[in-house]
Amino acid sequence: MTIMHANTDPAETVSVDYTALLEIYRSKNAKIGIIGLGYVGLPLSIAACDAGLSVVGFDIDAKKTDALTRGESYIKHIPGALTRTLADSGRFSATTDFSRLKDVDAIVICVPTPLSHHHEPDLSYVTDTALAIAPHLKPGHLVVLESTTYPGTTRDILRPILEKAGLKSGRDFFLAFSPEREDPGNPSFSASRIPKVVGGEGPHALELADALYSGFVVKTVPVSSTATAEAVKLTENIFRSVNIALINELKVIYSAMGIDVWEVIEAAKTKPFGFMPFYPGPGLGGHCIPIDPFYLTWKAREFELSTRFIELAGEINIAMPAWVVARLAEALDRQQKKGLNGSRILILGLAYKKNIDDLRESPALKLISLIEKRGARIDYYDPFIPVVPMTREHADIAGRKAIAFNAETIAAYDAVVVATDHDDVDYGLLVNHAKLIVDTRNACRRAGFDQPHIVAA
């Protein structure tokens, strides 16, 4: 391992037996406390326990901790077999009692970092978690933030809160940042198989964090500071946001020209260099790509810098649901000789990506809102989401239930909008019985169907 030494005081001393502490991590004897047992924290807990480490999972939601104690999964793409193995391993326990933080060696924070209504960073979950940790912080503790945020958060926000307890970062406890890199629903890349970037507040923190993650991930990538590690995560997601915006813009342009953007992409990606395929859709979803770029645009204002490229990409992606609705209205008018007002529309897929039950920032929710404002009646089907849970932005549709997906129900709708291309859908049944399909994911043609009543959007 190459340890990089930015922000280091050569005279720095520690108040604990650092050699013994480091050996605890290198020998995989450290007990890890993971705060936040959602889409990031739960897979991380599974990966650590699978590698033989002991984990205490913390969450403020007793329903989650109780479910894990029983060996039950509350995340669709994480099988119950994994959570049962976790519960039966003897190396995992879940609790809402934060006083148990004193019993662990490392504390890993995996809490949400959403945007406010004004597209500004909402770090309330991070600060609340820091305040919950502070009374239980002890000498030798390693604290790692994994939540995506702007450069400087670990140093300028998390560190001062923790130091109010009287202990000093780099001397008494150690602070690091390691951005989460989860890809929910991707069976090829579990948490343990994705390289982990790590940055520390000082060389000791970096070395400890590197030793911690080296115990259960395929590879670590040490960087010079927590701010650099924070910037790595934003760069990864901004890269995707900008390239998806580019292909979404090309989709609109090529559609006007009568050119199929999906065919263009398939041909272009045969070039063995200089091209990487990205795919259009109804908008961006998930907790990362729609949100993270705005963390950097907000922070850049502190330095009187504009982020025109990033913000333009955001504008293009945010406009996609409205473009899909326009295509839907146009197709209804052309093929059915009727308008959206009074039409019955079925949304196929609510999750932000296929084969998971994650609704965070899903463009399907925006589609429902926009279509209903046009006077249409909306139902949905999603094999992963039988009932719509409560969300911050779309509380009005919470509690709605998925329809039964069969020939009779499909035929009753004036149009079906494919918003999420789940694999567990009978696209043949859909194509054979739907009057009109507006496909935002090219799902029908990928399944081998290319009939005139299928419209790309």
What is the C-alpha to C-alpha distance for residues 159 and 134, in angstroms, rounded to an integer? 10
The total of other beta-carbon atoms located within 10 Å of residue 320's CB is: 25
Buried b (16+ CB within 10 A) or exposed e, 159-182: bebbbeeebebbbbbbbbbbbbbb
pLDDT tier at 6, thresholds 50, 70, 90: very low
pLDDT-derived band of residue 14, with 50, 70 and 90 as boundaries? very high
Given this chain, do its domains 18-232 and 245-456 carry the same CATH topology? yes
| pLDDT above 60: residue 124 | yes
Q: Give per-residue pLDDT as tens, 388-415.
A: 998 878 889 999 999 999 999 999 999 9
Q: Please say whether the beta carbons of 1 and 220 come within 8 A.
A: yes
Per the model's pLDDT, the better-predicted residue between 107 and 186 turns out to be 107
Q: Which pLDDT value is given to residue 354? A: 95
| Active-site residue, 110 included | no
Range 245-456 has CATH code 2.60.40.420:
no
Q: Concatenate the DSSP letters of all residues of 254-278 into one string.
A: HHHHT--HHHHHHHHTTSSSS----
Q: Is the pLDDT of residue 374 over 70?
A: yes
Average the pLDDT over 115-123 and give the result.
88
Stated pTM of the model: 0.91
Strand partners, 94: 57
Residue tagged active-site, from 49, 110, 288, 444: 288
How many H-runs (helices) and E-runs (strands) does the chain carry? 17, 13
- In this structure, which long-range contacts are made by residues 271-279, counting pairs with CB atoms below 8 Å and at least 24 apart in sequence? 276/243, 278/240, 278/243, 278/244, 278/246, 278/247, 279/244, 279/247, 279/442
**What stretch of H or E contains 296?**
helix 292-300
Rounded Cα gap, residues 38 and 372, in angstroms: 31
> In the structure, what pLDDT confidence band is assigned to residue 9 with cuts at 50, 70 and 90?
very low
Q: Where are the domains of the chain?
A: 18-232, 245-456
Q: Is the pLDDT of residue 264 over 60?
A: yes
The H-or-E segment that residue 93 falls in is strand 92-95
Tokens of 408: 């009779």
In this prediction, residues 325-354 reach a mean pLDDT of: 96
Residue 143 backbone class (left: φ over 0; alpha: ψ -120 to 50; beta: rest): beta
- Whether the per-residue pLDDT at 4 is higher than 70: the answer is no
Q: What is the dihedral of CA 119, 121, 124, 126, to 10 degrees?
A: 150
pLDDT of residue 303: 95
> Which residues, 6 or more positions from 298, have their beta carbon under 8 angstroms from its beta carbon?
119, 120, 121, 150
Is residue 3 over pLDDT 70? Answer: no
pLDDT tens track for 141-184: 999 999 999 999 999 999 999 999 899 999 999 999 999 998 88
CATH number of 18-232: 3.40.50.720
Please report the pLDDT score of residue 12 as a whole number.
56
pLDDT band at 5, cuts 50/70/90? Answer: very low
User: Is the alpha carbon torsion for 94, 95, 96, 102 positive or negative?
Assistant: negative
φ, ψ at 238 (rounded to 5°): -65, -40
pLDDT at 1: 44
